[in-house]
Structure 1
């Protein structure tokens, strides 16, 4: 699947306005990304598309030295599961 870059989102599909799958984020501060929602259409479910989209946000955070606040339940569940995302997960008690 070809993951495209949109405005504060990564998505799959022909149009950013009508994606087949997307992960949407905003910037809380210049160095903190808030993942707001993840969506995968029924036809793409079961293919780890949400995981691939989340991975693109994580790559962006690592490349740009950003931290992530996962507000959407999918991102929270995945990112809080283990150590893989600890380097980019925002912790209110620490600073970048």
Structure 2
């Protein structure tokens, strides 16, 4: 199984140096987190990888006392589905 890794602006999974899944975020002008993009390679489809990547951003926001906004439709849907996650959404 793949292991989720982190760099300064993403959580990701790699295989042989190739990113198989990633969620890209950055800090917005208020210092909160802004999710730009989520990608999951078709080899990993249907395994909940995208949800796990969103969860990592949520955990980061919670630990840093930040809110989250998103231009990624997948991430936005996941954030809106959960009461816990919805509380972190930035208006």
Same fold, judged at TM 0.5 (above): yes
Q: For residues 60-88 of structure 1, give each alpha carbon's deviation from its aligned partner in whole angstroms, at most 9, with x where no partner exists.
A: 00000011002101011111124121231
The answer to which structure has the higher helix fraction is 2
Number of aligned positions between the proteins:
89
1:10 has 2:8 as partner: no
Between the aligned partners of 1:51 and 1:29, the Cα distance in structure 2 is 26
Structure 1 contact 3–10 (Cα < 8 Å) conserved: yes
Alignment correspondent of 2:32: 32
Structure 1 contact 70–79 (Cα < 8 Å) conserved: no
4+ long deviations beyond 4 Å? none
Aligned to 2:84, what secondary structure does the other structure show? coil
Within 5 A, what are the aligned runs for 1:12-91? Answer: 12-14=13-15, 15=17, 18-91=18-91
Give 1:30 shift: 5.0
Where does structure 2 lack aligned partners over 5 or more consecutive residues?
none
Q: For residues 6-57 of structure 1, give each alpha carbon's deviation from its aligned partner in whole angstroms, at most 9, with x where no partner exists.
A: 2300000043xx3100000011135311100000001011100000000000
Structure 1 contact 40–49 (Cα < 8 Å) conserved: yes
